[in-house]
Amino acid sequence: MSDEPVEPGAPTARDVGIAPVADIQVSGGAGGFRAKGEDLVAMSALTDEVAGDTLKTALAGHKFLAEPDVLASALLNPSGVVRFEAAMAMALDGPNGLTATSAAIGLRGDALRATKLAYEAADELAARGLDASRWMAGLAVASAPGGVVAAGLATGTAIAADVYANYDGDWEKWLVDHPGMIDTLTGMSPGMLSSLGVPVDLATTLDLLAATYADGNAHVTALMPLPDPGPHNLREILLGLDVRNDPNNDQDNSNLDVRVIKDANGKVTGYIVDIPGTKDWNAPWDPKSANDSGVNVDAMAGNSTVLQLGIERALREAGAQGSGVPVMLVGHSQGGIVAAQSTNDLVASGYNVTHVVTAGSPVGRIDIPGNVQMLSLENRNDIVPRLDASDNPNTANRTTVTFENQTGTIGGNHSIGGHRYDERHRDEPPVDHNYVAVAGQLDGSSDPSVRRFLDSTGAFTQGSGLDSELLRYRVSREGVN
């Protein structure tokens, strides 16, 4: 996928090893609770149907109690008719009769629906309760006389003591060992701001922060396309993103790739958009690129961004709009935020977005259409996915894979982790790690949620590689860069 030449004797994909990551856990998706909740709803609907059919049978049976021929036979065999009427009444309306059975079946359907709603309500209340507790903690700290200063000094002193006593003064190592601090501080910030007199929640806080950054207009430049074999599995999907994300691979000056996947007949079967992470960390008064801090804040606040506009224009140039051809958005860090945030607008604009893959991205508070399948990979030691202080929704169309991979550095825990062969690494064993490594392990997973997602990606992973190509685009802010 890179236009760098491969040295003779360079490792092939078969030679590259995978550094195993630990404690892989899967939530949501086809095997998650919400999917099982939908099964409960389907079962309750079937139960209602059975209850209705049973009641219809009971109602139809009542006509035999007043059947003229039966009544007429009472003249010849009155005791037999009485026994018949009693037996029919018991079968239809007795404690174990059809009418009672129909009611019981109907109640079972109601119970199934109630169970689903109860679990969903408990899940929602737990999330809201956690948000509220963090908000109140922030308010309490900031509202107490000298609270911010006193709490800050006490907390800072305790942390500093721990850092120097147990981490040899290495603050970075302390932070990656305590990534939950990011969730807590992010969740407390709205409460602390609310102490100023204007109550805000996290969404409002992000909106206020986003307003300090000017987004601007997108300018999209198409660069020379390259041949591309296309990916054949999840690992290769992540490797393609890794190439685009590599800061040492910026000689082509592009920051967005669209991989056009074609079959053996040259027919386009899918488009994969590779969206890299943040390239510029800047203050609000110093706008930089389409991959700067402002895009992070704007996208997390739910706003359209210059990078999102660039994605739409690149896909339009590639021929995806209105074609009905499936589109997959793949993003790391900021790229995952923008990918998730883009889905609704792209679908509304005529793009058939069917899949999203994010790696190390805080996307828990971003809504996506119910018919878009989303796979989110999160290293529990990576602080970036924690910046939204929220777990990802446990829905049937959103699968989250968390895992443990501790490198001891913020950058290492957040890196995509693909091995790229070049002279600098000639003497190093080629090994995938972090997000690429977990993707490689998931390719062989039997988990139902992971399997359902991967089995649905054939439009992107079964290309012939003969005519597929890599379209490269430079997205910039007009008047800025």
CB 137 within 8 A of CB 191: yes
Residues 246 and 188 in one domain: no
Q: Which of 96-105, 156-165, 442-451 has the highest mean pLDDT?
A: 442-451
Least confident of 187-191, 268-272, 351-355, 459-463: 187-191
- 231-266: per-residue pLDDT in tens? 999 999 998 888 887 766 555 566 889 999 998 888
Asked whether the predicted pLDDT for residue 43 surpasses 60, the reply is: yes
162 is a domain residue: yes
Comparing 279-283, 319-323, 367-371, which segment has the lowest mean pLDDT?
279-283
Which of 60, 88, 119 is where one domain is finished?
119
334 and 458 inside one domain: yes
Residue length, the chain? Answer: 481
What pLDDT is stored for residue 272 in this prediction?
96
Count CA within 13 A, CB hemisphere, residue 313: 18
Structural domain includes residue 259: yes
* Whether 261 and 300 share a structural domain: yes
- Give the model confidence (pLDDT) of 205-241 as tens digits: 777 777 887 777 888 888 888 888 889 999 999 988 8
pLDDT at residue 152 is higher than 70: no
Could you give the CA distance from residue 37 to residue 144 in angstroms, rounded to a whole number?
Answer: 44
Judged by DSSP in three states, 157 sits in helix
Same domain, residue pair 113 and 188: no
Looking at residue 217, what is its pLDDT? 81
Residues 400-426: what's their mean pLDDT? 77
Is residue 132 one of the residues assigned to a domain?
no
Nearest 10 degrees: Cα torsion 125, 130, 132, 133: 130
Q: Is residue 38's pLDDT more than 60?
A: no
pLDDT of residue 278: 80
Confidence of residue 132 (pLDDT cuts 50, 70, 90): low
pLDDT at 469 over 80: yes
Nearest-CA neighbor of 143 among 199, 185, 97?
199
Question: What pLDDT does 466 receive?
Answer: 76
pLDDT band at 89 (very low <50, low <70, confident <90, very high): low
Q: 52: pLDDT confidence band, cut at 50, 70 and 90?
A: low
The predicted model scores a pTM of 0.75
Rounded Cα gap, residues 212 and 205, in angstroms: 11
pLDDT band, residue 10 (cuts 50/70/90):
very low
Tell me what pLDDT residue 321 has: 92
Please give the average per-residue pLDDT across 321-333, as a whole number: 94
pLDDT over 90 (residue 306): no
Are residues 189 and 107 part of one domain?
A: no
Q: What is the DSSP string of 50-65?
A: HHHHHHHHHHHHGGGG
Burial 363-383 (b: 16+ CB within 10 A, else e): bbbbebeeebbbbbbbbbbbb
Residue 4 within any structural domain of the chain: no
Element (H, E) at 402: strand 398-404
For helices 293-300 and 334-348, the axis angle rounded to 10 degrees is 50
Say yes or no: 26 and 74 in one domain: no
Average pLDDT over residues 182-187: 70
Task: Decide which of 71, 92, 119 is a domain's last residue.
Answer: 119
Question: What whole-number percentage of the chain has pLDDT above 70?
Answer: 60
Do 153 and 254 sit in the same domain of this protein?
no
Contacts 24+ apart (CB under 8 A), 336-340: 336/275, 336/360, 336/361, 336/363, 336/376, 337/296, 337/299, 337/300, 337/361, 337/362, 337/363, 337/366, 338/275, 338/295, 338/299, 338/305, 338/307, 338/308, 338/311, 339/273, 339/275, 340/366, 340/368, 340/374
Q: What is the mean pLDDT of residues 359-364?
A: 92
> How far is 91 from 111, CA to CA, in rounded Å?
25
Sign of the alpha-carbon dihedral angle for 256, 261, 266, 268: negative
The dihedral sign for the CA sequence 276, 277, 281, 286: positive
How many domains does the structure of the chain reveal? Answer: 3
- State how far Cα 8 lies from the chain centre: 40
Domain limits for position 102: 40-119
Does some domain include residue 3? no
Residue 2's pLDDT band (cuts 50, 70, 90)? very low
Considering 210, 233, 250, which residue would you say is the last residue of a domain? 210
Over range 163-184, report the average pLDDT: 73
| Average pLDDT of the residues in 348-357 | 96
Please report where in the chains the tokens 């649905």 appear, as a residue: 456
Domain-embedded: residue 129: no
Residue 12 confidence class, pLDDT cut points 50, 70, 90: very low
For the segment 71-87, the average pLDDT, to the nearest whole number, is: 61
- Do 199 and 226 sit in the same domain of this protein? no
pLDDT confidence bin for 150, thresholds 50/70/90: low
- Amino acid identity of residue 146, one-letter, is G
* All residues at 6 or more sequence positions from 151 whose CB lies less than 8 Å from its CB, including other chains: 141, 144
DSSP string, 412-480: HHHS-------GGGTTS--EE-HHHHHHHHHTT---HHHHHHHHT-HHHH---SSS-EEEEEEEEETTT
Co-location of 333 and 465 in the same domain: yes
Same-domain pairing of 206 and 238: no
Is the separation of the CB atoms in 418 and 388 below 8 Å? no
Residues 239 and 13: beta-carbon distance below 8 Å: no
In a domain, 268, yes or no: yes
- Both 112 and 18 in one domain: the answer is no
pLDDT tops 70 at residue 102: no
The mean pLDDT of 406-412, rounded to a whole number, is 86
- Residue 399 exposed, middle or buried by CB count within 10 Å (0-12, 13-18, 19+): buried
pLDDT at residue 136 in the model: 60
DSSP class of residue 373? E
Task: Judge if 248 and 367 occupy the same domain.
Answer: yes
The proportion of the chain whose per-residue pLDDT surpasses 90, expressed as a percent, equals 26
Q: 218-222 and 17-18: which strand pairing? A: unpaired
What pLDDT was estimated at residue 377? 96
Is 50 exceeded by the pLDDT of residue 378?
yes
Inside any domain, residue 244: yes
